[in-house]
Amino acid sequence: MSTRPVLEVKDLDVHYGLRRRRRRALHEVSLSVAPGETVGIIGETGSGKSTLARAALGLVPVSAGSIVVDGEDVSSYGHRQWRTLRRRGVIQYVFQDPLRSLDPDLTIEASLAEPLLIQGMSRGEAAVRVRSFLSRVRLSEDLLDRSPAELSGGQRQRVAVARALVTEPRLIILDEPVSALDSANRVQILQILKELRGDGVALVFISHDLGSVAGVADRIAVLYQGELVEAGAARDVISRPRHPYTRLLVSSAPTLHSAPAERAEREALRALLHA
């Protein structure tokens, strides 16, 4: 298998708004994702996580830096080129709210088959492929003729994951895929994501919750106020966080460390960060 990165972002700047309302959302962000690797991106609300996801999917314009997807420099792509790239199914995505990413008027079967039909697969082949991916996300074939509204939140999110998987992409970007789920469904989705690791598909898993990312990610990158302040092997970031914000995240995630962190240290870090 090629070891060329599936996603390579270099010195990325993204701004929102025009003229006097122009605000920087990302500054000099660099990140590389290897084939089959799971990279967790964590950061507090407004730190730029979704902006980074949208930039890598061509959904927001980039003001500086470069984006390479599976060896293809897409930095200067226009809308049509991005749409063609997304339709090829090399890069897929799952967002927080599956009701928004699934077409309410399509049955689950039609939703899952759609990306395959766009690629030119026959209906028969698509039907077989769809069924083979259902069991991967632990869904029964009985659900295929329902609409998204007739599923539970956890089932819908599993459909969204299956939809991202059917084209056998090189990379899936998941933006807060478990944040809207209860803990049982969260555990199930995290388990499914873990199982994908052996399949060669790379995942970018975005979350504000270090606890969710910790068990799944090979590497963790930390965004703080639009900048990537720390990145490394998940183990190292959790056991030896370097940036004060990462230290705060680690000490605030009770399941990650055995000894309870000193409240005073947490308060001191909080004060330092918000000074």
Which CB, 47 or 212, lies closer to ligand ATP? Answer: 47
Residue 43 interacts with ligand ATP (CB under 6 A): yes or no: yes
Residue 17 interacts with ligand ATP (CB under 6 A): yes or no: yes
Q: Which two tokens stand for residue 244?
A: 């004060």
Which CB, 51 or 251, lies closer to ligand ATP? Answer: 51
Residue 45 interacts with ligand ATP (CB under 6 A): yes or no: yes
241 binds, among Mg ion, ligand ATP, none (CB under 5 to 8 A by kind): none
Question: Residue 30 and residue 26: Cα distance in Å, rounded?
Answer: 10
Q: Which stretch binds ligand ATP (CB under 6 A): 39-47, 109-117, 148-156, 265-273?
A: 39-47
Q: Report CA 110 to chain centroid distance, whole Å.
A: 24
Are the CB atoms for 220 and 39 separated by under 8 Å? yes
Question: Residue 14 and residue 187: Cα distance in Å, rounded?
Answer: 33
CB of 258 to Mg ion, least distance (A): 31
**x/- letters, 200..219, toward ligand ATP (CB under 6 A):** --------x-----------
Residue 38 interacts with ligand ATP (CB under 6 A): yes or no: no
Between CA 240 and CA 30, with CA 214 as vertex, the angle to 5 degrees is: 75
Residue 50 interacts with Mg ion (CB under 5 A): yes or no: yes
Which CB, 6 or 53, lies closer to Mg ion? Answer: 53
Which ranges of the chain would DSSP assign to H, the alpha helix? 49-56, 79-87, 98-101, 108-118, 123-134, 153-165, 183-195, 210-214, 234-239, 244-252, 263-273
Question: Residue 270 and residue 275: Cα distance in Å, rounded?
Answer: 8
CB of 38 to Mg ion, least distance (A): 18
**x/- letters, 51..90, toward ligand ATP (CB under 6 A):** x---------------------------------------
Q: Which two tokens stand for residue 164?
A: 């991202």
CB of 216 to Mg ion, least distance (A): 18
Pairing assessment for the beta strands 38-42 and 219-224 based on DSSP bridges: parallel
What torsion, rounded to 10 degrees, do the Cα atoms 7, 172, 29, 269 define?
A: -140
61 binds, among Mg ion, ligand ATP, none (CB under 5 to 8 A by kind): none
Residue 197 interacts with ligand ATP (CB under 6 A): yes or no: no
Residue type for 69, please? V
Tell me how crowded residue 96 is: count the other CB atoms within 10 A of its CB: 19
Residue 49 interacts with ligand ATP (CB under 6 A): yes or no: yes
Are the CB atoms for 188 and 216 separated by under 8 Å? no
Question: What does each C-alpha distance from 74 to 5, 7, 168 come to in angstroms?
Answer: 14, 10, 20
Q: Which stretch binds Mg ion (CB under 5 A): 48-56, 129-137, 162-170, 263-271?
A: 48-56
Candidates 13, 16, 153, 236; binder of ligand ATP (CB under 6 A) is 16
Residue 156 interacts with ligand ATP (CB under 6 A): yes or no: no
Q: Which of 174, 238, 244, 183 minimizes the C-alpha distance to 210?
A: 238
Please report, as ranges, the residues that interact with ligand ATP according to CB under 6 A: 16-17, 25, 43, 45-51, 208
Please report, as ranges, the residues that interact with Mg ion according to CB under 5 A: 49-50
